[in-house]
Every structure is written in C-alpha cells, then in structure tokens.
Amino acid sequence: MSGRVYLIGAGPGDPGLLTQKGAQLLGQAEVVVYDRLANPVLIDRHVSPGAERIYAGKASNRHALSQEEINSVLVQKGLEGKTVARLHGGDPFVFGRGGEEAAALVAAGIPFEVVPGITSAIAAPAYAGIPVTHRGHNTSFTVVTGHEDPSKVESTIQWEGLATAVGTLVFLMGMENLALIVERLVAHGRPVDTPVALIRWGTWPKQEVLVGTLADIVSKASTASFKPPVVIVVGTVVGLRSQLRWWDNRPLFGKRVLVTRSREQASALSSLLREQGAEPVEVPVLEIVPPGSYDEMDAAIARLSGYDWVVFTSANGVRLFLDRLQALGRDVRALGSARLAAIGPATADELRRCRLKVDLVPAEYVAESVARELIALGVQGKRVLLPRAEMARELLADELEKAGASVDRVVSYRTVPAGEISGVRGQLEAGEIDVVTFASSSTVSFLAQGLGKEDTASLLSRTLVACIGPITADTARGLGIRVDVVAKQYTVAGLVDAITEAMGGG
C-alpha cells in the first residue's frame, strides 16, 4: 500500500508564516524532505523526533540532491507506505518545482496533496515595507524568474511587455543575473530612474534591503557584496519603504541573542525577543528533572492541610509539586486552608493557571522580599511548606525560621546540565552572538560548566551579558563574568526591556 506525499510551502522564512495545515502535517510526517530556504526552526518545532529527515537543499551550483533524486526519494518513500512531507521554501508551485514532483508522484500512482505557502514574492517586499500594489502607484504586479539561463538563444521572458508595463516587477532567484535583468529592462524601455529594491533573506531576522534605481543598483550591489537569496522589486512602490518600513527597524533587529533557559521555558523569552526583532539562539544549558527521591515531598503532601502557607519560588516548583499531588491521587483540595505565596508573576501565573488563588506576590521578586512580607504578615508559630529546587538558596527558609515559623524544606525538582553545548563555543569565538541572557543562577553555572569555567569570562567578553536579577548577576560576577545589564523587573519581560534599553531601543 502506498503512502501519501504532502507538498508543503514553508513560507519565506519567518516561522510564524507557516500555515496551520502545514504545521499539522509536519507533525504527522514519518519522512520530511526539506529545502535550504525552509527555516530550520520549523523542523525543530513541528517535526516528530522519530521522523526521518532528508536535506534536499539547493544553492547555485551546489545541490545536496538533484531534482531527479528528490523526485526519486519522494516516490520511493511513498511506495514504502510512508507519510511524507516535502517542505519547500515559499510556495511549492511558485518556481518551487513542486509541479515536477507532483507529476512524478502521479506517474508512480502515489496520492499527494499540495499545501500552499506564502511566497517570498509578496512576503519579502511586505517585510521590507514595500506593498507590491498600492493605489496611486499601480494595480498589478508580475512575478518573474530571475534564474533563466543567460546563454539561451531566445528568452522565454517577454522583456518588452515587462519593461513597458506600469505594474510592479518581482524577480525571484535573480541576484546572479541582476546586471542582465537591468540591461534588458532598460533596453526595452524601462526608465533608468525606476526605483529598485534588493531584499536579501526576506522575513528572516538577518534581512537586508538595498535600494537604488536601474541606473545604479548593479554598482550598489557590487559595493555591498550582496549575495543570494534575494528578491528583486522594480517599481515606484519601492519609494514607499521610507514610510512603511517596520520589520527591520525594530530595536533589536539583527541581534543574535543566546537563550540559556531549559527547553520547556525558552519559548517565552524567545517569543519576546522575536517581537523586538532579535534572533533567539536557543541553547538550553539545563534540564528540569524530578527529585532523586519523592519521600520528602510525599510526606509533606500527606500532611498538606496542616500548613498555614505554601511558598513557591518558581513556576517549575509549582508544576512539579502539583504533578506529584495528582500522581498520588489527590488534588488541590488537599491544600485545605493553606495560603499560597509566589516569588514573582511567572510563578503566580502558573498557580492561577491551575485555578489557585495567590495570596502573596512580593513587591520585589527575590527571596529576601518574600521573607520580609511574610514576616510582616506574622509567621510566629505558623507552619510553612517550601517546595523548591535541590540547590536553592537557604535564605528564605532561614529568615522565616528566625521569625518563629516552622519550615519544611522539600525538594520538588532538580536542575541538571542539559548535555553537550560545545556548539555555542564556536559562535561565541566567532563573535556571532550579540547578547547572552541568564534567567537564573543555574543557567550561569551550567553554561560556565559546559564552556569551562576558566574560559567562560573570556568567551563572553565580546557580548552583552544580561541577567534577570541581582542574584543571578552576583552568580555571574562570582565566576568572573562581566555583567552589563540587570533587569529592573525580575521577569523575562523585564529582561527583554532591559536589553532593549541597553541597546538603544528603550
């Protein structure tokens, strides 16, 4: 029985532009055959870890697989009964050779579906602030291959019609033929003062835009060493970029930011960084794992209704404590009349997500402030449960005990090194990371452990180092790391705000 092949458009680069159907089918695929221009984030984010991944990237004169080989792979995997996702950059049928792949599948009798993607022909100009149509400028646009063989005796492109048309012209894959494209447009009547934009890596965090006219764009591109992939836009709408530019003028645009949080928690910080234009580089340096033994936690849960306060110092602590509660066949009713404290808004949000009322969030999101405010409420003779990380600071429990509380310190989770992170060393040495973020003391310690404590300060010396709060910053300084930014509000949102301000965007 044959499988089914899905020809999926990945969109132009921004992972948010993948269609919902495309994401769903990527998750179901047993085999994924993907292009050079399909953002690797889509593979990491949507493809099952057990799926076979086949790279079929093609650049000028460098093909991982020829088109005939790609067709063969799709047919072979289909005949094996596999569910196959063929992931094209942009749209499969807009100069994507998806039609040839579909024809090969038809010939082999293999069912297929086409999932259109957003083509770079409209997305790249849009992300450059250039609408391909605009009332007062034009009412049409034409998408043209820029990859036609210049040695052909006769061109299949109707240059005279293109040159004299009033609409916008969009050339895909045309950077290597830029001089020829300009020459033929001018020769067939396009005015030399017609605006032109070259959009490199459109919709990606590394997008570059070069603007000129038919008279000077070739020399400008040569001076700037502009390389593919590039979308070429010709027309008066190019002049709107100065007014409508939005993607590449965000405060952190083009900055590569190292996110060291655990894989489960990285997405929140990465999402905020992307909103400001940064490119997050996720290198989780730690993992959150259960305690070595549940004995302490199980004993505390057995007497849970006897506590006056349960104090959570992280969202991880909330999640793993409540998971254990459920594993023991109990639910939040076991809390009885215990009041709940959270060290900060993220921890409080995790409690509220579980429909639990939060009785205390301190004004400052550190253990010292939690202790002060609990003591002000009166903890003499009170019983306090403190579920926390194995290597947590003792300050909170010690201060509460000094004030007369009975505190049970229970390990609800451990942080352990995430494994091999040596790949980031080369990026740091090459100056490819602009900002390093630390959202906890553990992230500092484990990054230093992975890079080598004797090398870490030197490796980070050319980056901006940003810490979520003073405790994390102190840990970094204790390892000899220069700290440039400490968030005023000790949250991931506060961390991004502080980075933005430090880099001149605040």
Determine the Cα–Cα distance for residues 165 and 137; give it in Å rounded to an integer.
Answer: 12
**Residue 454 contacts by C-beta under 8 Å, 6 or more apart in sequence?**
none
Is the separation of the CB atoms in 446 and 420 below 8 Å?
Answer: no
At 61 the pLDDT is 57
At 502 the pLDDT is 95
At 155 the pLDDT is 74
Sketch the domain layout of the chain as residue ranges.
4-118, 122-244, 256-285+419-502, 289-417
- Whether 256-285+419-502 shares its CATH topology with 289-417 is answered yes
- The model's pLDDT over 204-247, given as tens digits with 9 standing for 90+, comes to 999 999 999 999 999 999 999 999 999 999 999 999 999 999 99
122-244 CATH choice from 3.40.50.170, 3.40.50.620, 2.40.160.20, 3.30.950.10: 3.30.950.10
For domain 4-118, give the fold: Cobalt-precorrin-4 Transmethylase; domain 1 (3.40.1010)
The SS3 call for residue 41 is helix
Identify each DSSP E strand in 283-369 by its residue range.
Answer: 286-289, 309-312, 339-342
Q: How big is the chain by its Cα radius of gyration, in Å?
A: 28
At 244 the pLDDT is 97
The CATH architecture of the domain made up of 289-417 is 3-Layer(aba) Sandwich (3.40)
Helix axes 67-79, 98-108, angle to 10 degrees: 40
Marked catalytic residue, from 14, 35, 434, 497: 35
* Residue 135 token pair: 């009332």
Q: Is 1 a catalytic residue?
A: no
Q: Is 359 a catalytic residue?
A: no
Q: Is 58 a catalytic residue?
A: yes
* Residue 126 token pair: 């849009």
Marked catalytic residue, from 173, 175, 297, 503: 173
Three-state DSSP string of 342-362:
ECCHHHHHHHHHCCCCCCECC
Determine the Cα–Cα distance for residues 92 and 367; give it in Å rounded to an integer.
Answer: 54
Marked catalytic residue, from 58, 359, 474, 484: 58
Nearest Cα residue to 170 out of 202, 193, 192:
202
What's the distance, CA 43 to chain centroid?
12
Peptide bond into 131 cis (omega under 30): no
Determine the Cα–Cα distance for residues 300 and 312; give it in Å rounded to an integer.
Answer: 14
The SS3 call for residue 489 is coil
At 506 the pLDDT is 54
Determine the Cα–Cα distance for residues 498 and 485; give it in Å rounded to an integer.
Answer: 7
Element (H, E) at 400: helix 395-402
- The model's pLDDT over 471-484, given as tens digits with 9 standing for 90+, comes to 999 999 999 999 99
pTM of the shown model: 0.81
Q: How far is CA 195 from CA 129, 231, 232, 234, in A?
A: 14, 14, 11, 6
Is the separation of the CB atoms in 386 and 397 below 8 Å?
Answer: yes
Nearest Cα residue to 67 out of 96, 26, 93:
96
At 377 the pLDDT is 94
- The model's pLDDT over 77-92, given as tens digits with 9 standing for 90+, comes to 999 999 999 999 999 9
Determine the Cα–Cα distance for residues 470 and 475; give it in Å rounded to an integer.
Answer: 9
The CATH architecture of the domain made up of 256-285+419-502 is 3-Layer(aba) Sandwich (3.40)
| Residues lower than pLDDT 70 in the chain | 1, 58-63, 149-154, 505-506
